[in-house]
Amino acid sequence: MTRTRVKTFFRRVAKILSYMLFLFTLQVSNVCHAAVDEVSGGGSIQNSKIGTGIMKMVKDLTGTLQWIIPTAGVMVILFYIFKIMTGDEQDQMRYKKTIVKVLICVVVSILAVTIVNLVAGYF
């Protein structure tokens, strides 16, 4: 393949993956917000200005991280796939291990952000 064909291929793959991750993140976000809206309580902490400010900040931060983390993960994975395709055969195993590490980190961080979002909804 020529370099331009490889670049267009990666652009198409990146676009498709980003659309898929965006839709997945929207679905996760909607499920989390539906679960949070059903729960109320928190007492005096919920009614204080500091408590409401912190809760708004946590919800905004977790909502933003839910789409930043997968997008950044896809970009890093695409970079390493490009390195595998253009690099030496000796380096391929190292890049494959890095891709697996990135996938694990993305999954764990999305789960952590979702759990923090759900727990924050109870206060």
Q: Look at residue 1 and give its three-state secondary structure.
A: coil
Taking the CA atoms of residue 14, residue 17, residue 22 and residue 23 in that order, the dihedral angle to the nearest 10 degrees is: 150
1-10, 13-22, 24-33: the lowest-pLDDT one: 24-33
Alpha helices in the chain (DSSP H): 3-37, 43-47, 49-86, 92-120
Q: Of the ranges 6-10, 31-35, 91-95, 110-114, which one carries the lowest mean pLDDT score? A: 31-35
Radius of gyration of the chain (CA): 19
In tens, the pLDDT along 67-115 reads 888 899 999 999 998 888 887 888 888 888 888 888 888 888 888 888 8
Number of domains in the chain: 1
Query: Measured at the alpha carbon of residue 79, what is the angle toward residues 75 and 83, in degrees to the nearest 5?
Result: 170
Domain range for 54 is 3-120
